[in-house]
Structure 1
Amino acid sequence: MTDDDWRQVFGHAEPYDEQVDGVETAIGAAKDGGFLALEGACGTGKTMLALSAGIHLVRDPDSDFERVLVLTSVKQQLRQFEDDLERINRDLPEDWRDVSGLTLVGKADVCPYSRERAAGIDDTNVYDRCEDLRETTRSLTGDGPTTATALTSDARSQQVGLADSGSDGGAEYLETAGEPSPYPTGLPEYEGVQYCPFYAQYLEDRPDDSDGDPAEAVPFDFTDAGLMSPEELVAESTAAGTCPHSMMGALLGHVEVVIGNYYHAFDPATTGSFTGALLDDSTFVICDEAHMLEPRVRDLVSDSMADRSLRDAERELTRVLQAVEFEGREGETSADADLVRAELQEADVGIDEVEGLRSFVRDLREELDRQVTAHLEREHRGWKSQLNDLPDDEIPLRDPETPQVDEITEWAERAGYGDRVWSRGETVGAVVKRILDEDEDDTKQRATPGVGRVLGRWYRADHERHFREIELDRTWDDTEPSGSWRRAYNAALTIHNCVPGDVIGERLAEFGGGVLMSATLEPVDVFAEVTGLEHLREAEERPVVERTYGLSFPAENRESFAVDLPKFTYDNRGSPGEENPTRRSYADAIETVARSPGNVLVGMPSYSEAEWAAERLRERVEKPVLIDESSGDDATEQLKADFFDGEGKVLVTSLRGTLTEGVDYRGDRLAAAIICGVPIVDTTSPRTRAIRTAYDDAFGEGFEYALTVPAVRKARQAIGRVIRSPEEVGVRVLADARYARDSWDSVRKYLPGEEFQPVSPDMLAFGLERFWDRH
């Protein structure tokens, strides 16, 4: 194949010039083991560009690439990749086989029981229940008392028995994705122990040889299926009586395009148990919405241990120790002492280490209680009588702006707990899990391994790029005493990776090459630094090529203004309940844009500010005003449907919400948008201050790199919803002096070219009126 043969897999008749350059640049970089960092405005065709480059390399017999892994953080974009892959398959030459593909989703989306809310399993508990049932099913088979074949046969016979008894089926038979399963609705049991028949069938079908091909367990033909959607995967698996999630894992190594999200490449738990086989140099990776790569990975590689996990770990360690402590006392043994000694000896773990970890966990929980209580006494006097009113909170364990040892580590040293209890926690936790799983009937998730893992990380991580704190999340637990903070809070000891660029770069280095792309990647040099790409280029000598493609649609179809209003900061605007000149000027600007014909989007820095803007608009404009509130997916989808239906409306939302990124507003769905302020996150938060300090140390530009650049990208994402194709007409307004002026805190240099024309507030109405008169 030649590099020009990519046109055979390109899903449109003619590519744009930018697509030609982008595809060929991506192919060239990947052949040298490198990456393309691409900013492409809406309508550039980035999805088709990246897929065409990756699929070409996979189909090229002279290439070492075997698959494309797509990572995106937005469901709308995931569906766009699916649509483009199906378009590619429709337009392939007749003698070509379809490109095979698979979309990765979570267990809640594929588990037959969860999908149908059967057997007490739903999306709130499916992950824990799945692990429990899988562990039980494995323990019953293999070296257990029965076989996978016997379990599935027994489960199938229960359905046969129902049919023979004259039942008309109905709720007695588990059906999902339009297919009946061979099993009843409830979970079957073996000698009183519930197991999963779908997973048992998978165990029966999978190869006995550990080196065997997992695809041998797939009981249906997938070689010519093209893109297999999650619904199709569930339907095929359910009809065959096998586990859809296990089928997803078995197919991973046999499809050419895998579509997932950042979890599938950067979450240690997910890559360790599910997608690790994709992380090698035979994979061409596509990171979509790459402007979100840094904050999303920061969340994934941060870690915590909850107060309740510490409590449960102490109990688990106690149960193991009781086996030895109570040995010989009739009726007192809670575990088998010989089993405990054998497992400890095999793992080279002393009983003193188990005792030491139990003491440490118990004392650590007491220190956590002391820290939380002292904080509440300082910040919320009389808190015991106001438990219902306590806010989410965070307690820094060091000065966020001064890297130094945290208070928990200092406490442990004073209490006599040395390096060993920290560093050996994960090893002790693993053996405790094995002992309890072997000795006890229940196979629930164990807390000690997770606590041990976090202890080890807490001990090993530096204090310059990591920040430790206590997170207090609002909850309510009536089982806790009325005067306890545990009644109102879930507390967790958390370690944040403030500068995740090293982790991102190390993971990207495992792939053979790829594309990192977004409509808002600029400034690309900053992006390359904070994501580790610059390190790949300099230290590992892997090429990183940068491309920026601007908005190529007719300029006469859009008007773009940067309004010179007072900065929309808290110091200027005050709280939403206040009235002052700054708020009045923004209310006027919002009203002016809202009067545009058609649908109008108003983006505010927070939900409280969105509520303020909506109230002012309802007083001033005739259009219906919809407000987006922090809510679940179903409510958001209904809000979007209401906005798109019928005559023009105004939708007011927070720029921290989900309606300003990745949502499809093409066609006449959106005529105008105004973004108020630069949506910089709360700079007073201890975590934010720690991140800024770490970025200062790493890059010398803490505020710009950690706060300003991400905020401008968020504003640009929101404003980019307006113009999505050459035929669309619309208005884009950024309201804040920092967008309009070149000043010490200006963000104008981060806006594309000269696209946004600075205007005074009184000229905004004139400019909009003139534009709409022309259209």
Structure 2
Amino acid sequence: MNTHTDLMISIKKEWTDTPPGPLACKLPIRRLVEFLLRTGSIDSRFTGFDRANEGARLHRKLQRAAQKEFADYTAEVPLTQQYGCDGVEYTLEGRADGIFTDPDGVPTIDEIKTTLLPSAEITGKQSPEHWAQAKIYAAIYSKQNGVSPIRVRLDYYQVEEEKEYRFVEEYTAGELEDYVRELLTRYAPWAKRAAHWQHARRVGLEALTFPFAEYRAGQRAMAGAVYKTCCEGGALLCQAPTGIGKTMSVLFPALKALGDGGPIFYLTARGTTRTAAENALDLLRLHAPGLALRSITLTAKDKICPQPMRECTPDACPYANGYFDRIKTALWNGLDIPALTADALQALARQYQVCPFELGLDLSLWCDVVVGDYNYLFDPVVRLARFFDTRGDYLFLIDEAHNLPGRARDMHSASLCKSAFLDARKRLGPGKSSLKSALQKVNTLFLDWRRRCEEAQGNSRFGRTFFEKNRAEELDRLLTRLCEPLQDWLDEHREPGETRDALLQLYFDVRAWLRVADTFDDHFVLQVSTHGSEVRAAMLCLDPSAFLAADFSKGRAAVLFSATLSPAGYYKDLCGLPDARAVALRSPFPSEHLGLWCARHVSTRYKDRDGSIAPVSDLIACMAHGKAGNYLAFFPSYSYLQTVWEDFTARYPELPAMRQESAMDDARRAAFLEQFTPDGQTLVGFAVLGGVFSEGVDLIGERLIGVAIAGPGLPQVGPRQEELRAHFERTRGCGFDYAYRYPGMNKVLQAAGRVIRTPQDKGVVLLIDDRFLAYENRRLMPPHWEHLRAVSGTEQLAAELARFWKDLPPSDGKI
């Protein structure tokens, strides 16, 4: 079933609920022609973010050259035209690369394409979708300006040869009109299916009711604030404690506000929260059988790839080979599946032998809700260009939004190590080559930087470091010159192996560096540091707010939500949303279910760590002796965790304990959490604050009844963190808060939030450090922590715990 006729025959569903009036379809011209006419295979050799960036640069170069050649050459001309065809009212939109008048007076549409295809394959006929795109532009221009004939000039620029290949055809207005209508007739089954689905979705969502008998405390207020924001536009920051039901509280009102817009992008920082979104959508479908609501969960390419080794070329991958020849059939049948999870995409991919990752991206254009990682909107390398090249009527729901500033900072930073260039040069073996020469020049620059680091004063505890406020222009020039021979070597050596893997990773790292270098401004700093024989250079994005503001501007509205978004001004600032509304909801659970104490007689400051080990062990043991059950103890670093663990297990062998290991994979993490069973036995888990077990872990009821947190979670002092502090002191006047206090207390609140997960849960939180009692930290604590009490030793803590677990009123020790 690979032809248009077969697809027409395959329309199985008869729509009885016909939308009123003509069927409307708004369609980008490029999407139309690529969908209908693109054939062949996926080939990663000729695609990618950097190639796209290079293509944009060359487009501008060729347009400037054309403007010198033709006085009336106009670049980037927007074109929009309505067509009625086969019962569908189309609105076609696009942007012509250029329009000019030939010397003989004939108007000409200029379409520019950059390519890496070998020159022998550039025939002008290898990509019919390119001609189709330009011919539709010509048809619209001819129709709107009453000109005929009109020419199309297709201009291919071969990047490696730096040579142009030009093809010109002339058409009458009638020929072009017939051509456009023929394409639209072929697309009509898809347009009708989309229009009927959108009508059914609108009707279903208007009738949709909240899927529970009643709202939880605070849930109605949250849903109302989300609905208002999604309808009116703008941004909302919502701090909603555990138990309100955040996922449904944002998804339900966003769907009710969707109208004819969309899709909704539900974006998360980790896979566990994506599962929560899938479950909420399933619940809505169960609550409203027949609801037209199609969702898709996008999964990283490496995780969803069915091949043992991912290589996206037609020679290496049967799922890439011939992908575009089979994709429409897979798409048509995939649209019958309301919940396109990773498992569903993999099953479709096997059935039709298409790449599951690319299939997911193609199907996302037909979905009402897209669930995925932050990367798909905020990362400039992997963001969904098919959506976010222009502004759309999108709704952005950002889960666990306290993670966004840090993640965005990482997305816009880049680093390189001297060892990678030296290793690549050694792997190439003896003999001379332009690639080895280019690698050696970069290595030499790193050696010069090592000498500068060695001359730097202080900071020997963290290695030697120097900072620059300007980009490393000399390194950028050397890396730009390295790219061509490195790419040539990779094209010539396609057999998999360690050497190719190493050089391919180096190529990606170099391109990532150059991408960040193009955005380097006063929000960045260059850091060069040495650790032993290694030299590391990093461009650090200190303030990602401008990037995030641009990303959020791509949609209608954004809702950022988390249990910890305090202070709101900090998150509004760093997320690029200074005008966002902010709401903070109270916990829906009885405050008496949470026992909350601060051990003020202990300091976990770095200078006091050695003396704190035994007291911290004693406090954890006291907490665990208070009631049999499962506990977690969190520490600011793995080394501190390890030291206390050794003391605790030596002195309290009667208390079963286990610790988080460094670099645990998914299976070992799951095995760690499986030990927390509601069997009434005692277990103490030692974990790192801010790590995988302090966020997104849902240990309900007796699976976790207590948490101890050693210290206020301040990031480790070091050159990078101190540079952040200096930047925000200079730009905001509150460097310590932005670099240390706010991120640290957020980690504390997230870890403490593991205890109370449902209205029936009851548990304790023990904060170990006198700094928790300082006003600057107390003001960051949620309202339901107002009963925090101070204790001055294990004897007092034991008495408080006994009263709490016996449901006796607490002593008169409130601060």
* TM-score of the alignment, normalized to the shorter chain, above 0.5: yes
Q: Distance in 2 between matches of 1:287 and 1:261?
A: 10
Tell me, yes or no, if structure 1 residue 587 matches structure 2 residue 617. yes
Report how far residue 4 of structure 1 moved: 13
Aligned partner of 1:338 in structure 2 is: none
Residue of 211, 232, 236 corresponding to 1:11:
211
CA contact (8 A) 2:715 2:740 kept: yes
Cα separation, partners in 2 of 1:275 and 1:569, compared to 1, 3 Å: farther
Q: Distance in 2 between matches of 1:554 and 1:449?
A: 52
CA contact (8 A) 1:72 1:262 kept: yes
Report how far residue 690 of structure 1 moved: 0.9
Aligned partner of 1:69 in structure 2 is: 265
Residue 615 of structure 1 aligns with an amino acid whose one-letter code is E
Aligned partner of 2:449 in structure 1 is: 371
Aligned partner of 1:166 in structure 2 is: none
- Give the 5 Å matches for 1:394-433: 395-398=464-467, 404-405=469-470, 412=474, 422=476
Report how far residue 430 of structure 1 moved: 7.2
Tell me, yes or no, if structure 1 residue 649 matches structure 2 residue 683. yes
Cα separation, partners in 2 of 1:438 and 1:75, compared to 1, 3 Å: closer
Q: Distance in 1 between matches of 2:548 and 2:747?
A: 21
- SS of match in other structure, 1:366: helix
Deviations 1:690-723 (A, max 9, x none): 1111111221111101210110010000011111
Tell me, yes or no, if structure 1 residue 699 matches structure 2 residue 735. no
Q: Distance in 1 between matches of 2:530 and 2:276?
A: 38
Residue 791 of structure 2 aligns with an amino acid whose one-letter code is S
Aligned partner of 1:89 in structure 2 is: 285
Q: Distance in 1 between matches of 2:427 and 2:553?
A: 39
Q: Distance in 2 between matches of 1:422 and 1:508?
A: 30
Query: More deviation in 672-681 or 7-16?
Result: 7-16
Cα separation, partners in 2 of 1:112 and 1:692, compared to 1, 3 Å: same
Aligned partner of 1:204 in structure 2 is: 325
Aligned partner of 1:454 in structure 2 is: 513
Residue of 635, 638, 644 corresponding to 1:613:
644
Tell me, yes or no, if structure 1 residue 43 matches structure 2 residue 248. no
Aligned partner of 1:751 in structure 2 is: 781
Larger relative contact order (Cα-Cα within 8 Å, sequence gap ≥ 6): 1
Aligned partner of 1:239 in structure 2 is: 351
Residue 402 of structure 2 aligns with an amino acid whose one-letter code is H
Aligned partner of 2:302 in structure 1 is: 108
Aligned partner of 2:585 in structure 1 is: 549
Q: Distance in 1 between matches of 2:393 and 2:789?
A: 48
CA contact (8 A) 1:596 1:671 kept: no
Aligned partner of 1:195 in structure 2 is: 316
Report how far residue 57 of structure 1 moved: 2.6
Report how far residue 77 of structure 1 moved: 1.4
Tell me, yes or no, if structure 1 residue 249 matches structure 2 residue 361. yes
Tell me, yes or no, if structure 1 residue 624 matches structure 2 residue 656. yes
Q: Which runs of 5+ in 2 are unaligned?
A: 1-200, 809-815
Cα separation, partners in 2 of 1:364 and 1:765, compared to 1, 3 Å: same
Cα separation, partners in 2 of 1:393 and 1:363, compared to 1, 3 Å: farther
Pairs aligned (count): 593
- SS of match in other structure, 1:199: coil
- Give the 5 Å matches for 1:544-583: 544-574=580-610, 580=611, 582-583=612-613
Q: Distance in 1 between matches of 2:290 and 2:469?
A: 64
Query: More deviation in 713-722 or 21-30?
Result: 21-30
CA contact (8 A) 1:466 1:495 kept: yes
Cα separation, partners in 2 of 1:659 and 1:204, compared to 1, 3 Å: same
CA contact (8 A) 2:635 2:688 kept: yes
Report how far residue 44 of structure 1 moved: 0.9
Residue of 385, 397, 409 corresponding to 1:286:
397
Cα separation, partners in 2 of 1:530 and 1:452, compared to 1, 3 Å: closer
Q: TM-score, normalised by structure 1?
A: 0.69
Deviations 1:339-390 (A, max 9, x none): xxxxxxxxxxxxxxxx9x997764332121343477589999xxxxxxxxxx
Q: TM-score, normalised by structure 2?
A: 0.66
Report how far residue 648 of structure 1 moved: 2.4
CA contact (8 A) 2:398 2:561 kept: yes
Residue 612 of structure 1 aligns with an amino acid whose one-letter code is T
- SS of match in other structure, 2:667: helix
Tell me, yes or no, if structure 1 residue 465 matches structure 2 residue 523. yes
Report how far residue 10 of structure 1 moved: 3.1
Cα separation, partners in 2 of 1:300 and 1:449, compared to 1, 3 Å: closer
Residue of 16, 22, 27 corresponding to 2:222:
22
- Give the 5 Å matches for 1:324-403: 362-372=440-450, 395-398=464-467
Q: Distance in 1 between matches of 2:203 and 2:237?
A: 20
Structure with greater strand share of residues: 2
- Give the 5 Å matches for 1:656-735: 656-683=690-717, 685-735=718-768
**Aligned residues: percent identity?**
22
Report how far residue 90 of structure 1 moved: 0.6
Residue 749 of structure 1 aligns with an amino acid whose one-letter code is R
Tell me, yes or no, if structure 1 residue 31 matches structure 2 residue 231. yes
Q: Distance in 1 between matches of 2:202 and 2:369?
A: 21
Aligned partner of 2:180 in structure 1 is: none
CA contact (8 A) 1:309 1:451 kept: no
Residue of 618, 629, 633 corresponding to 2:666:
633
Q: Distance in 2 between matches of 1:459 and 1:425?
A: 13
CA contact (8 A) 1:738 1:748 kept: no
Residue 757 of structure 1 aligns with an amino acid whose one-letter code is L
Q: Distance in 2 between matches of 1:362 and 1:565?
A: 57
CA contact (8 A) 1:305 1:451 kept: yes
Residue 296 of structure 1 aligns with an amino acid whose one-letter code is R
CA contact (8 A) 1:11 1:84 kept: no
Cα separation, partners in 2 of 1:504 and 1:456, compared to 1, 3 Å: closer
CA contact (8 A) 1:281 1:513 kept: no
- SS of match in other structure, 1:750: coil
Deviations 1:616-667 (A, max 9, x none): 3332362311111212222121111123364221111110321110001112
Report how far residue 66 of structure 1 moved: 1.6
Report how far residue 200 of structure 1 moved: 1.3
Q: CA RMSD in A?
A: 3.6
Q: Distance in 2 between matches of 1:404 and 1:441?
A: 40
- SS of match in other structure, 2:303: helix
Report how far residue 84 of structure 1 moved: 0.9
Cα separation, partners in 2 of 1:433 and 1:220, compared to 1, 3 Å: farther
Q: Which runs of 5+ in 1 are unaligned?
A: 115-120, 138-193, 207-215, 323-354, 381-390, 413-420, 475-484, 538-543, 575-579
Residue 566 of structure 2 aligns with an amino acid whose one-letter code is E
Deviations 1:30-78 (A, max 9, x none): 22321110000000111001111222233x24xxx22111111122212
Cα separation, partners in 2 of 1:704 and 1:195, compared to 1, 3 Å: same
Aligned partner of 1:343 in structure 2 is: none
Q: Distance in 1 between matches of 2:277 and 2:556?
A: 21
